[in-house]
Amino acid sequence: MKKPNPEYIKRISKIVNSSPYFELLSMKLQDVGIGYSILEIALAKKHLQPFGMVHGGVFASIIDAAAFWSIYLGLEDQTAGLTTVDLKLNYLAPAASGKLIARGRQIKVGSTLGYAEAEVTDDSGKILTHGTSTVIILPGKAIEADPPLPPKLID
């Protein structure tokens, strides 16, 4: 069975974490493997809505990203990319400070679609949000890097 290439994970994490949207939200891909991902956001004033709580869009963004990355690494086609086609979530508790920790878990991946779930907790482990996402697999839409990325998976 193939396993994740540590050099690929290192390079892709750097690319993802320095992308404009991740930087805007201060979102970080902390860990990724076949079938799972862990992301974090250290909350700041910019994440709050007018009532002093984290905006629902912040929760939606981290759920979307955690579900996405839980599927991505396991795709054997290194030329494939993904994009979200469906996102559903339930807000279970508010947050105003601290850290959001999202754990994504792949549920099923076919030749065209993937399905995953993600849960967001605070630093104490309290569940704040749960969601699911469907992504479409897009052959030929891989992340491009210079120098080119190494293989995702190794023997």
pLDDT of 110-141, one tens digit each?
999 999 999 999 999 999 999 999 999 999 99
pLDDT score at 1: 76
Preceding amide of 147 cis, omega within 30? yes
Give the three-state DSSP class for 57: helix
Rg (CA), the chain: 15
Q: How confident is the model at residue 155 (pLDDT cuts 50, 70, 90)?
A: confident
Q: Write down the pTM of the prediction.
A: 0.95
Give the three-state DSSP class for 145: coil
pLDDT score at 2: 83
Distance between CA atoms of residues 109 and 99, nearest Å: 30
- 22 φ, ψ to 5°? -60, -40
- 152 φ, ψ to 5°? -65, -45
Mention every residue, 6+ apart, whose C-beta is less than 8 A from residue 27.
17, 21, 39, 40, 41, 61, 62, 65
Number of helices (H) and strands (E), helices first, in the chain? Answer: 3, 8
Which is nearest to 35 in space by CA: 78, 12, 4? 4
How far is C-alpha 148 from the geometric centre of its chain's CA atoms? 22
Q: Count of CB atoms within 10 A of residue 40's CB?
A: 19
For the chain, give the mean pLDDT.
Answer: 96
pLDDT score at 44: 98
Q: What is the pLDDT of residues 84-114, one digit of tens each?
A: 999 999 999 999 999 999 999 999 999 999 9
Q: What is the pLDDT of residues 49-62, one digit of tens each?
A: 999 999 999 999 99
Q: Count of CB atoms within 10 A of residue 88's CB?
A: 12
Which is nearest to 66 in space by CA: 24, 106, 17, 103? 103
